[in-house]
């Protein structure tokens, strides 16, 4: 009896049994208060590294990212999305480097455009800031694949960790 009533209600409102709400398109922009809501102070780093950027400066870099956490009801299927990745990481020979350089660790965030080109890059954490400029030059030798949504390339913020 309950099944008949439910079917009658569905027909009365023009709905089909088993029909699902269509999935919404994703949001490709940061929340409105993303930069302004940044906590004060430097960004937190792993042990052995010091921060080279504040939370607010990091968010100013990240605000151009088009990959954001999505709400329910958005198409997040593997058929629609692909994640950005490093395609080629150059080999760097550090055998002749001094002892301090061989222990160098850093975290770099790279903003990659829809075509895979580097739009911006920042060292966010580093064990020795003396080597940060050389590291950023090395990032230009990398090859990146941006995240994609239904085949369209997206600005993608990607972390690149160095532990030599």
156-163 and 105-112 strand pairing: antiparallel
Per-residue pLDDT, 9? 37
Closest CA to 69 of 107, 121, 27: 27
Per-residue pLDDT, 94? 55
148-149 and 143-145 strand pairing: unpaired
**What's the CATH number for 27-163?**
3.30.2420.10
Residues of the chain with pLDDT under 70: 1-20, 69, 92-102, 164
Per-residue pLDDT, 95? 55
Average pLDDT of every residue of the chain: 81
Q: Where are the domains of the chain?
A: 27-163
pLDDT digits (tens, 9 = 90+) for 84-123: 999 998 876 655 455 555 678 999 999 999 999 999 999 9
């Amino acid at each position: 009896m309950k099944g008949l009533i439910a079917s009658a209600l569905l027909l009365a409102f023009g709905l089909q049994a088993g029909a699902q709400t269509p999935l919404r398109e994703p949001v490709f922009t940061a929340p409105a208060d993303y930069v302004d809501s940044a906590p004060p102070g430097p960004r937190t780093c792993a042990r052995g590294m010091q921060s080279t950027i504040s939370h607010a400066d990091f968010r100013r870099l990240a605000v151009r990212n088009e990959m954001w956490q999505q709400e329910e009801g958005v198409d997040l299927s593997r058929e629609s999305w692909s994640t950005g990745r490093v395609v080629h990481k150059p080999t760097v020979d550090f055998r002749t480097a001094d002892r301090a350089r061989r222990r160098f660790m850093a975290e770099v965030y790279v903003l990659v455009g829809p075509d895979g080109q580097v739009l911006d890059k920042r060292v966010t954490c580093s064990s020795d800031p003396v080597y940060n400029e050389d590291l950023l030059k090395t990032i230009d030798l990398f090859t990146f694949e941006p995240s994609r949504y239904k085949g369209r390339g997206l600005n993608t913020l990607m972390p690149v960790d160095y532990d030599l």
